[in-house]
Chain A
């Protein structure tokens, strides 16, 4: 039963990706792209650019991986249950907003403990908030909105991580 449900979810996501391939987003001029303009829509609420080419898509209940020989990207949606498991009773938005701007609780402070690189907050044309850092293997970006019940985490490992993360900041949108 669960397997059948997973297959249906996978089919819906694949059809969504396929459908979006014929509806390219408008791009601002002068921004270097690492994507084709095709969208990946996660949980029906956040559209992020797909990487230029991919060979494999892996999906489970908690995350999605898109990969090619030269890179891999993990997309994870972090919900209330996961934040509670970490040890906080805040909403995902409030937890990550505090982590990146003014960590107060032990859990918020520990999230970034041991990170060797600083966190950046780029400006974006959308209503979404972005925070990213270099994790040593690549780049990890968190996409926040106070109207979402989850936070989206995108982790890029491989060549051109900067280009892809820039395109996420430039082209991601709430739906």
Chain B
């Protein structure tokens, strides 16, 4: 796995804080957190009208290739380019996954 850079961590914290509020700013971003975030991004059919699905080259089966820096960069660009409404739409579905992401951010 290519290490997650501090800039990438900051970008993902911003996406998560759009879904979860300011408390996400203190979460540690690791591979498990990204996997759960990816699961959330792909979970909601009713929110998909706000955004195209995640770019196909960076998805294997239904799983985003988070270990790849290139894939992470593509997802970050994809979400920064108009993903705000999509992320807000994911708040309710995200609330269900919050304890899992919170545990993962603690390395548990």
> Which residues of the other chain, B, contact A62 by a CB distance below 8 angstroms?
23
CB of A62, distance to nearest CB on chain B (Å): 6
A positions within 8 Å CB-CB of B: 58, 60-63, 65, 67, 72, 74, 76, 78, 82, 85-87, 106-115, 135, 137, 140, 153, 155, 157
Q: Which residue of A lies closest to B88 (CB)?
A: A87
**Residue on A nearest B20 in the bound complex, by CB:** A85
Q: In the bound complex, how far is the Cα of B42 from the Cα of A50, in angstroms?
A: 35
- Complex contacts, B70 vs chain A, CB 8 Å: none
Is B25 at the interface (CB under 8 A from chain A)? no
Q: Which residues of A contact B42 (CB under 8 A)?
A: 114
Q: Which residues of B contact A65 (CB under 8 A)?
A: 102-103, 106, 108
Q: Considering the complex, give the chain B residue whose CB is closest to the CB of A63.
A: B102
Indicate if the CB atoms of A82 and B93 lie closer than 8 Å.
Answer: no
Which residues in B have some Cβ–Cβ distance to A below 8 Å? 21, 23, 26, 39-40, 42-47, 89-93, 95-100, 102-103, 106, 108
Contact: B99 with A153, CB < 8 Å?
A: yes
Residues of chain B within 8 A (CB-CB) of A112 are 96
Q: Give bound CA distance, A108 to B99, whole Å.
A: 18
Assess A67 versus B44: contact at CB under 8 Å? Given A140-B99, A157-B103: no
**Alpha-carbon separation in the docked complex, A61 to B47 (Å):** 30
Contact of B99 among A87, A115, A155 (CB under 8 A): A155
Contact of B92 among A67, A111, A135 (CB under 8 A): A111
Instruction: Give the chain B neighbours of A76 by CB distance below 8 A.
Output: 98-99, 102
Residues of A within 8 A of B45 (CB): 113
Say yes or no: B46 contacts A110, CB within 8 Å: yes
**Complex interface: chain A residues within 8 A of B26 (CB):** 60
Please, which residue of chain B has its CB at the minimum distance from the CB of A142? B96
Query: Pick the contact of A110 from B93, B99, B102 — CB < 8 Å?
Result: B93
A110: chain B residues within 8 A (beta carbon): 44, 46-47, 89-90, 92-93
Shortest distance from the beta carbon of A155 to any chain B beta carbon, whole Å? 4
Distance in Å: Cβ of A77 to nearest Cβ of chain B: 12
Q: How far is the CB of B40 from chain A (nearest CB, A)?
A: 8
Docked Cα-Cα span, A107 to B47, in Å, equals: 11
A85, B46: Cα distance in complex, Å: 18
